[in-house]
Amino acid sequence: MEYIGIDLGSRRCVAAHPSGEIILNELGGMTTATLVSFKDKERLLGEAAVLSSSTNPTNTVDHINMYLGKSYEDIAMQMKLFPCPKAPFVQTKSGPAAKVQYDDGEKHFTPVQLIAMVLGKIASNVKGVEIGNIHAGIAVPSGWTDAEKHAVLQAAKIAGFGQAGIVGRDAALARCFHRKHPIKDEKETKTILIVDVGHVTTNAAIVQLNVTGETVLAHAYKGDLGSANFDLAVFEHFQRQLKASHGLNIQGDSRKGRRLLSACEQLKKLLSTIPEAVVQVENLGNDCDLSLTLTKKEFDALNQATTTALTQMLKELLVNSPPLASVEIVGGGTRKPAIQAAITAAVSDNVPLGRMLDSATAVAVGAAYAEDLIKTEDVTVADDVLALEKAMKARDETNFLIANKRNEIETFVYEIRGKASQKHGNLIDYNVVNPLLDAAEDWFYSEEAETATLELATQRVTELKANIVQSCSAYFAAVAKDEQALEAHLEAEAKKAALEAKDEDHDFRKLKTPDRMRLVMKNKDEGNELFRGGNVQHAAARYVKALTHASKFFDLSPEDAAEVKSVKLSLYLNLAQCYLKMEAYQKAVSNCKDALDLDGNNTKALYRRAIAYEKLKDYENAFRDIQEAFRLTPDDRAIIQCNERLKAYMKKQSEKEKKMWTKAFA
């Protein structure tokens, strides 16, 4: 069973492997939105629900973890912290539940069911592992009640995890800090304070560290103190101001209320770095835009009660505490100077504030490190609840496959239209082909396509491709002939190279290092000459021969080993360049990998592998490589151009995927 750590946040969740590697979401991001949205017969989970929170708010549920284990009255009070349109909660036989329109009718889902949906989405991002084979350690505030923790474990069971347990956020952060910054002196013991200010809650813990591990000596928790308090205070300030100055009565559950809240969040972020900020809000007044202005001094005054509460909470925690070596601050809330000042007021100016942990991922990574701290219990879930989640997952999978088929049609249409300017494009009769492509596009945007079954979508793809292949038989025959010729040529060159290298490759004599190096360099130099003359295939054969000799060194001194490593690195890079020119992109990827195994920060290898991945249409890996190359060599013009090209593509792809999800294809 594979273990992962999960940070169950009120706005975003993060998951990590025990290696510390973050589990990326389907868009390649490190976090998953704590959102569930419903539309027609579809449910949108995590990142897919982000756009729906503004376009379909009354069928979207956010801040779900804050509703776990609470009564209907508690939830109603909690929702007042988040003034914007959202799905309402009602009292049902199963307890408080969100009321949404789904599957042709009104449906009710409890917070436990909703969190189970989010957890299931996170598990689906773990590549190659079924959710039933995953053991999850879920980090929650240490101050949560037994009812809240029990609800999390019920949600994990509904989601389908093979096993799940709870770990406190304080313990997870302490473990993460100790793993990343271990105490190495057996005689050393130090005490730190970790303060975690999130969007809704604040956690703090006194942690003692020594060479053997970490111990949480004391912790404190406030479930009503977080970054949202600042947003609400500024929101209420401008509510009053706009009513007095413009006669506007802006309610939190309106679209104007959402725009105002978003502007207040923006002001909060700006005032973390500048003394005065101005934000323009579209269509806030009577068909006009309004400007909101706030100074840092005004912001601090509006939030005096919140910062005072934080200072008091920490002072009470620190009573009888050993002397602190430092204060580690994490969480988005600690970016605000007002919060940092409140923390300093509690611990004194002599104790430094540090940011030695990543605010976004530290809790999840700590939970991933803390499998030994996980606490679990037996929980029961009604069979009908388990069956409902299983049925919705099956529907999600079907809708995903349908969406892929629709995307396959769209991609195929674009590819065929683009072949006009490519080699052999003159063999395509677009007078015949264009009507077929137009009909496919018309269907793609039709109501029938929106409601198509998987069988119908598959049939459409098959028919389109068959008709195009039949209509463009001359083009596809020419392309296939080129591919066969290239393959035959490469195979012939490989055989030729093997024959040329026969004597040398079967030479197992233990040549002295200088003699063997002469053979390596002879073949490398010959390859360079052939490459400069445009004879790429023969150049590649020489480089392969040089690598064969380079593998036969023995008993090398450190200096000789370094020289051999350098030569092998250049040979792998040269081979990669050859294969790029021969359009053998998979071989180029393989040789770049070999080069990076020797030098993980080699920008040439990263750049050439990015180009190969791009040609293979593996854009995610291409973008990852070029980003790393750009980080290492930001001034290289070729890397800059490739980075901009791939960045534009990834942005376009992300927008396309979001559009796809929001069109009710989960």
Pair (275, 236) in one structural domain = yes
pLDDT at site 446 = 85
Closest Cα partner for 44 from 131, 125, 118? 118
Calculate the CA 106 to chain-centre distance.
33
CATH number of the domain where residue 278 is located: 3.30.420.40
pLDDT at site 222 = 94
DSSP string for residues in 316-339: HHTTTPPPPSEEEEESGGGGSHHH
Q: Across 448-590, where does the E strand assignment appear?
A: none
Contact 221, 141 (CB under 8 A): yes
Lowest-confidence region among 329-333, 335-339, 537-541, 645-649: 645-649
Cα distances (Å, whole numbers) of residue 645 to 92, 588, 633, 639: 53, 20, 17, 10
pLDDT at site 618 = 84
pLDDT at site 493 = 65
- Whether the per-residue pLDDT at 354 is higher than 70: the answer is yes
Single residue among 474, 493, 514 that ends a domain in this structure = 474
Residue 360 lies in a domain: no
Residue in this structure with the two tokens 């007021």, named with its chain if needed: 345
Residue 362 lies in a domain: no
Position 664 confidence tier, pLDDT thresholds 50, 70, 90 = very low
Section 177-191 average pLDDT: 92
Q: For residues 513 and 112, which has the higher predicted lDDT (pLDDT)?
A: 112
DSSP 8-state code for residue 370: -
- % the chain with pLDDT above 70: 95
Instruction: Name the 3-class secondary structure at 217.
Output: strand
pLDDT at site 235 = 93
Pair (192, 149) in one structural domain = no
Pair (94, 10) in one structural domain = yes
DSSP string for residues in 101-155: E-SSSEEEE-HHHHHHHHHHHHHHTSTT--GGGEEEEEEE-TT--HHHHHHHHHH
Into how many domains does the chain fold?
Answer: 4
Which residues 6+ apart lie within 8 Å of 87 measured at CB? 57, 58, 59, 60, 61, 98, 99, 100
Pair (111, 240) in one structural domain = no
CATH number of the domain where residue 606 is located: 1.25.40.10
pLDDT at site 156 = 96
d(CA 431, CA 280): 51
pTM above the 0.75 mark? no
> pLDDT by residue (tens digit) across 228-244?
999 999 999 999 999 99
Pair (514, 652) in one structural domain = yes
Residue 346 lies in a domain: yes
Lowest-confidence region among 67-71, 172-176, 255-259: 255-259
Pair (611, 509) in one structural domain = yes
Pair (441, 571) in one structural domain = no
> pLDDT by residue (tens digit) across 474-499?
999 998 998 888 888 777 766 665 55
Position 26 confidence tier, pLDDT thresholds 50, 70, 90 = confident
d(CA 511, CA 187): 54
Residue 367 lies in a domain: no
Cα distances (Å, whole numbers) of residue 154 to 65, 73, 158, 380, 634: 13, 22, 6, 7, 49
Q: For residues 442 and 138, which has the higher predicted lDDT (pLDDT)?
A: 138
d(CA 32, CA 37): 14
Section 516-532 average pLDDT: 88
pLDDT at site 514 = 84
Dihedral over Cα of 140, 142, 147, 150: its sign: positive
Pair (156, 207) in one structural domain = no
Q: Where are the alpha helices (DSSP H) in 551-636?
A: 558-581, 585-598, 603-615, 619-632
Q: For residues 450 and 504, which has the higher predicted lDDT (pLDDT)?
A: 450
Contact 269, 263 (CB under 8 A): no
> pLDDT by residue (tens digit) across 116-134?
999 999 999 998 899 999 9
Contact 119, 64 (CB under 8 A): no
Single residue among 337, 366, 381 that ends a domain in this structure = 381
DSSP 8-state code for residue 11: S
> pLDDT by residue (tens digit) across 209-218?
999 999 999 9
- Whether the per-residue pLDDT at 203 is higher than 70: the answer is yes
Pair (521, 451) in one structural domain = no
Pair (460, 543) in one structural domain = no
Section 394-403 average pLDDT: 89
HSE (side-chain half, CA atoms, 13 Å) at 372: 4
Residue 479 lies in a domain: no
- Whether the per-residue pLDDT at 504 is higher than 50: the answer is no
- % the chain with pLDDT above 90: 56
For residue 245, what are the domain limits?
Answer: 183-355
DSSP string for residues in 30-79: S-EE--EEEETTEEEEGGGGTTHHHHSGGGEE-SGGGGTT--HHHHHHHH
Contact 609, 596 (CB under 8 A): yes
Residue 487 lies in a domain: no
Residue 176 lies in a domain: no
Contact 190, 325 (CB under 8 A): yes
pLDDT at site 14 = 96
d(CA 666, CA 120): 14
> pLDDT by residue (tens digit) across 47-97?
989 888 888 999 999 999 999 999 999 998 888 878 788 899 999 998 999
Contact 454, 398 (CB under 8 A): yes
26 CB neighbour count, 10 Å cutoff: 15
Q: What is the mean pLDDT of the chain?
A: 89
d(CA 322, CA 642): 54
Pair (550, 606) in one structural domain = yes
Burial of 424 (0-12, 13-18, 19+ CB in 10 A): middle
d(CA 623, CA 639): 11
For residue 279, list its beta bridge partners: 292
Residue 527 lies in a domain: yes
Position 538 confidence tier, pLDDT thresholds 50, 70, 90 = confident
pLDDT at site 595 = 92
20 CB neighbour count, 10 Å cutoff: 16
Pair (162, 202) in one structural domain = no
- Whether the per-residue pLDDT at 526 is higher than 70: the answer is yes
Position 660 confidence tier, pLDDT thresholds 50, 70, 90 = low
